[in-house]
């Protein structure tokens, strides 16, 4: 077998020459501040291999600027973002690794399904008809990827929609739900038992993605989640903004089954729906938390007319490699990842239609770019290679990383680990870091040691019920058997009172997460991001130099 990194071009093609304006390929003229940052970056590569908060700041500022129009998948701004990221990888000295032939891009073919506001949803029961209004009452996508779908089906309430034999939990109790539209809550039943559904930490059973997957496995016609802020861990605005525009989906193969509707109802719409059956949201939520729960035939029919625009989305992951120094181990790699996408131009909020995604995830991309620069600048490279991946369509349900996991550039058996970055807080100097899931791997002792060397505490996830371990791109690597976790935002900051980071996190989730207001702020302090990058740099080097590949710990629930 030829070396896995044989397609890493030894020479950077002329189109990546630092003297060119990277945006010229789009017909965009001279951009003074952008070109200045490129010139500075090119100069600093030769002078300084230290990780810099200032460089991370400038990458974040540019990626979150209005010029990039929110980095939407299949939108002009997303193409600009991937060109910029590829240019920065080239300036750093990393080699193209997206596909044979010297390109930084791994093509990810998706279907863009854009729900139209004329879509309709109604509930019929008890001699009454209730109409639900798009965005205010419901959001939905048609996974069958047809432009005009009309259907009517019975609604059945299935609690949390979970079957988990290891915890002796079954919301279906053998009831045949084929052809029906399932109504359920997100999250999972609570318990004071730390061994039950892993205690307060959300498991994959609680994620909305699992619930739609289970509905499809059971032959359901569709699935709708009744939203509550408590069960979702975020408000209706987040759901509306996330689902109210084009959704990238993996293209269906001919004859491949799919649900006719996946979506959400607001709590108020849920009350109207359940009211037709003489039930309330609180009543059914309480019954859903009991192990003796059985599916409830609501005596309601749901009628839907989903109008969608369908198009091919030729989006892309951006991949760059720095080859390792060991002739045998350089065909193995440590992966550093961060998703580049956000929601692009969407529904206006207070007159602003650009979803800039500054924290989510211009910050993670900026750390990734600085890591690539610092790694490529090392005078002596680690034994294993380092693969830097900026992934598409994370906001649509980890689609870019899912595609990579199914079409890996380096086989999972030769991938040491994935260290992921997603939404880091630039609020000063960190006193801790969160690495949820690292304790399930054999690198945890090393991770603790490096944190100690940097005078950083390792803190637990501040919001375990939000299920962050299952909500970012590293989870696609987990599902492929690769040890993986995210290096998350700090919860404690120097010079700030205890709980400051958690409070800022709650404020961000409530007021800025998936909102146009997630914008770059001139007074942000990027010291914590520099610390996170340095931590990953040290941890990645040690892993790249180990004799054996890391693995999952026995009993972790995951394995290679």
- Nearest to 478, CA basis, from 511, 446, 528, 441: 441
Q: What's the pLDDT at 48?
A: 37
Helix (H) or strand (E) holding 191: none
- Nearest to 345, CA basis, from 241, 473, 424: 241
% of the chain at pLDDT higher than 90: 80
| Structural contact between residues 163 and 171, judged by C-beta atoms closer than 8 angstroms | yes
> With DSSP H G I counted as helix, E B as strand and the rest as coil, what are the percentages for the chain, rounded to 5?
35, 25, 40
Mean of the per-residue pLDDT values of the chain: 90
- Nearest to 560, CA basis, from 400, 420, 440, 409: 440
Residues, the chain, total? 560
Q: What's the pLDDT at 463?
A: 74
Token readout for 196 is: 């039950």
Greater pLDDT, 430 or 347: 430
Greater pLDDT, 389 or 461: 389
Residue 16 pLDDT exceeds 50: no
SS (H, E, C) 237-269: HHHHHHHCCCEEEECCCCCCCCCCEEEEECHHH
Q: What is the pTM of this model?
A: 0.82
Q: Domains, the chain, ranges and CATH?
A: 14-93+323-545 (3.40.630.10), 113-310 (3.50.30.30)
Segment 150-205, tens digit of pLDDT: 999 999 999 999 999 999 999 999 999 999 999 999 999 987 788 888 877 788 89
Q: What's the pLDDT at 38?
A: 40
% of the chain at pLDDT higher than 70: 91
What are the φ/ψ torsions at residue 427 (nearest 5 degrees)? -115, 20
Token readout for 226 is: 């009744």
Token readout for 308 is: 């969608």
Q: What's the pLDDT at 71?
A: 98
Segment 288-335, tens digit of pLDDT: 999 999 999 999 999 999 999 999 998 999 999 999 999 999 999 999
Residue 512 pLDDT exceeds 80: yes
Residue 144 binned pLDDT confidence (cut-offs 50, 70, 90): very high
Q: Report how far apart, in Å, the C-alpha atoms of 278 and of each of 123, 268, 274, 433 are.
A: 14, 15, 6, 48
SS3 174: coil
* Greatest extent of the chain over all pairs of C-alpha atoms, in Å: 76
DSSP string, 103-114: BSEEEEEEEEEE
Q: How far is CA 11 from the centre of its chain?
A: 33
Residue 22 pLDDT exceeds 50: no
DSSP string, 501-559: HHHHHHHHHHHTTTSTT----TT-BTHHHHHHHHHHHHHHHHHHH-SS---BPTTSS--
Mean pLDDT for the stretch of residues 411-426? 97
Q: Report how far apart, in Å, the C-alpha atoms of 70 and of each of 78, 80, 504 are.
A: 7, 10, 23
* Sequence-ordered list of residues with C-beta below 8 angstroms from that of 75, at least 6 positions apart, any chain: 69, 344, 345
Greater pLDDT, 470 or 40: 470
Angle at 539 between CA 533 and CA 540, to 5 degrees: 85
Segment 158-168, tens digit of pLDDT: 999 999 999 99
Residue 35 pLDDT exceeds 50: no
- Nearest to 45, CA basis, from 97, 89, 104, 96: 89
Token readout for 504 is: 């800022």
């Amino acid at each position: 077998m030829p070396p896995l990194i044989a397609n890493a071009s030894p020479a950077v093609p002329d189109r990546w020459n630092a003297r060119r304006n990277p945006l010229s390929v789009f017909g965009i003229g001279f951009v003074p501040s952008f070109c200045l940052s490129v010139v500075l970056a090119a100069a600093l590569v030769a002078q300084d291999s230290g990780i810099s908060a200032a460089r991370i700041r400038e990458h974040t500022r540019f990626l979150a600027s209005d010029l990039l129009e929110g980095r939407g998948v299949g939108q002009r701004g997303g193409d600009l973002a991937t060109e910029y990221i590829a240019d920065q990888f080239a300036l750093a000295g990393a080699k193209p690794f997206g596909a044979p032939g010297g390109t930084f891009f791994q093509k990810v073919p998706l279907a863009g399904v854009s729900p139209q506001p004329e879509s309709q949803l109604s509930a019929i029961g008890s001699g009454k008809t209730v109409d639900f209004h798009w965005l205010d009452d419901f959001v939905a996508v048609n996974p069958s990827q047809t432009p005009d779908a009309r259907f009517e089906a019975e609604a059945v309430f299935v609690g949390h929609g979970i079957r988990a034999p290891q915890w002796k939990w079954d919301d279906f109790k053998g009831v045949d739900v084929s052809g029906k539209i399932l109504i359920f809550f997100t999250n999972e039943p609570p318990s004071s038992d730390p061994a039950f559904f892993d205690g307060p930490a959300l498991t994959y059973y609680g994620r909305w993605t699992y619930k739609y997957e289970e509905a499809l496995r059971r032959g359901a016609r569709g699935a709708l989640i009744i939203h509550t802020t408590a069960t979702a861990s975020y408000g209706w605005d987040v759901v509306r903004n996330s689902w109210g525009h084009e959704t990238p989906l993996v293209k269906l193969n001919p004859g491949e089954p799919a649900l006719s509707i996946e979506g959400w109802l607001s709590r108020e719409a849920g009350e109207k729906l359940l009211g037709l059956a003489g039930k309330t949201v609180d009543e059914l939520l309480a019954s859903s938390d009991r192990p003796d729960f059985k599916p409830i035939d609501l005596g309601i029919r749901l009628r839907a007319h989903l109008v969608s625009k369908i198009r091919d989305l030729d989006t892309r992951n951006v991949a760059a490699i720095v080859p390792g120094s060991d002739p045998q181990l350089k065909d193995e790699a440590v992966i550093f990842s961060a998703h580049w996408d956000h929601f692009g131009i969407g529904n206006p909020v207070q007159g602003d239609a650009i979803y800039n995604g500054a924290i989510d995830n211009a910050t993670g991309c900026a750390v990734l770019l600085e890591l690539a620069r610092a790694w490529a600048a090392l005078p002596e490279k680690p034994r294993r290679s380092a693969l830097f991946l900026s992934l598409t369509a994370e906001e649509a349900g980890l689609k870019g990383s899912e595609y990579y996991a199914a079409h890996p550039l380096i086989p999972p058996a030769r991938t040491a680990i994935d260290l992921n970055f997603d939404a880091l807080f630039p609020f000063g100097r960190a006193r801790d870091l969160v690495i949820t899931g690292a304790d399930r791997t054999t690198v945890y002792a090393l991770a603790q040691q490096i944190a100690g060397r940097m005078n950083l505490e390792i803190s637990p996830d501040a919001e375990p019920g939000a299920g962050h371990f299952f909500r970012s791109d590293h989870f696609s690597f987990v599902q492929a058997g690769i040890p993986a976790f995210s290096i998350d935002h700090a919860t404690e900051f120097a010079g700030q009172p205890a709980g400051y980071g958690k409070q800022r996190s709650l404020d961000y989730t409530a007021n800025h997460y998936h909102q146009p207001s997630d914008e770059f702020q001139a007074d942000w302090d990027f010291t914590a991001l520099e610390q996170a990058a340095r931590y990953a740099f040290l941890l990645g080097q040690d892993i790249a130099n180990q004799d054996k590949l890391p693995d999952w710990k026995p009993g972790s629930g995951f394995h290679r």
